[in-house]
Copies of this chain bind each other. A is one copy, B any other.
Amino acid sequence: MTRVLVVDDDPYLLRALRINLTAHGYQVHTATDAAGGLATAGRQPPDLAIVDLGLPDLDGIAVVEGLRGWSRVPIIVLSARDAEAAKVAALDAGADDYVTKPFGMDELLARVRAALRRAAPTPDAPVISTAAFTVDLAAKRVTGPDGEIRLTPTEWHLLEILARHPDKLVAQRQLLREVWGPQYQTETNYLRVHLANLRRKLEPDPARPRYLITEPGLGYRFVP
């Protein structure tokens, strides 16, 4: 079962979080201060941590730092509206997301799901092979028949997304959003240029692509 650690000093909020998270199938551990939170995390490493920045020892950031020292567990930070500086510090320290109080329970649950989803795709086969080349996602390396193939950052980023969803159609918007950001979602010509460069480096016959397939008007597909 997914284990969630909640560190908060407000007993009412703690109770509300416990009830809601439990109701959604999470196993909840709680602590009311930084020391207790870190100790609990040590005893029972959680799959996700929710940390209030306004702890009695004024040091929710210590929890983030303490966790980040040994764990990549997703951390969601709770903060009051005016604690901007602390929030930024917490994110710098390695927190993954933040929720400003007061917040709706549905929003928090959504962020919990998002954080877990983001963290989930870790343990996978990080090597995808085709007849023409091999993609090693962990080492960020592409090997062709003549040895290593050097990709530019953008090319690698595109290939990585496509390779993580083999045989699946990836929408143009999604590619543009993940590589260039939300405000570039219509610049489809970027995709054309960089896909062409990728094909030139990877495809045996770049003019007639076999692995990086265009689905006109929709997106692209990686077929191993």
How many identical chains are in the complex?
2
Given A35-B33, A92-B182, A153-B217: A168 and B138 interface contact (C-beta under 8 Å):
yes
Residues of B within 8 A of A38 (CB): 34-35, 38-39, 62, 66
A214 to nearest B CB, angstroms?
11
Instruction: Report yes or no: A70 in contact with B42, Cβ–Cβ below 8 A.
Output: yes
Residues of B within 8 A of A62 (CB): 35-36, 38-39
A64 to nearest B CB, angstroms?
8
Instruction: Report yes or no: B92 in contact with A65, Cβ–Cβ below 8 A.
Output: no
A224 within 8 A of B: no
A76 within 8 A of B: no
A71 within 8 A of B: yes
A69 within 8 A of B: yes
Residue among A35, A36, A42, A45 with the highest chain B CB neighbour number at 10 A = A35
A210 within 8 A of B: no
A15 within 8 A of B: no
Residues of B within 8 A of A71 (CB): 70
Given A68-B42, A152-B216: A169 and B140 interface contact (C-beta under 8 Å):
yes
Which among B35, B141, B183, B215 is the interface contact of A34 at CB below 8 angstroms?
B35
Q: Which chain B residue shows the least CB distance to A56? A: B57
Tell me the A159-184 residues at the B interface (CB within 8 Å). Answer: 167-169, 177, 181-183
Tell me the A89-103 residues at the B interface (CB within 8 Å). Answer: 92-94
A197-224 interface bits toward B, Cβ cutoff 8 Å, 1 = contact, 0 = none: 0000000000000000001111101000
A51-65 interface bits toward B, Cβ cutoff 8 Å, 1 = contact, 0 = none: 000000101011101
Known A-B contacts: A38-B39, A94-B177. Give 10 more (CB < 8 A): A34-B34, A35-B35, A39-B66, A41-B69, A42-B70, A44-B69, A138-B168, A139-B168, A140-B169, A140-B215
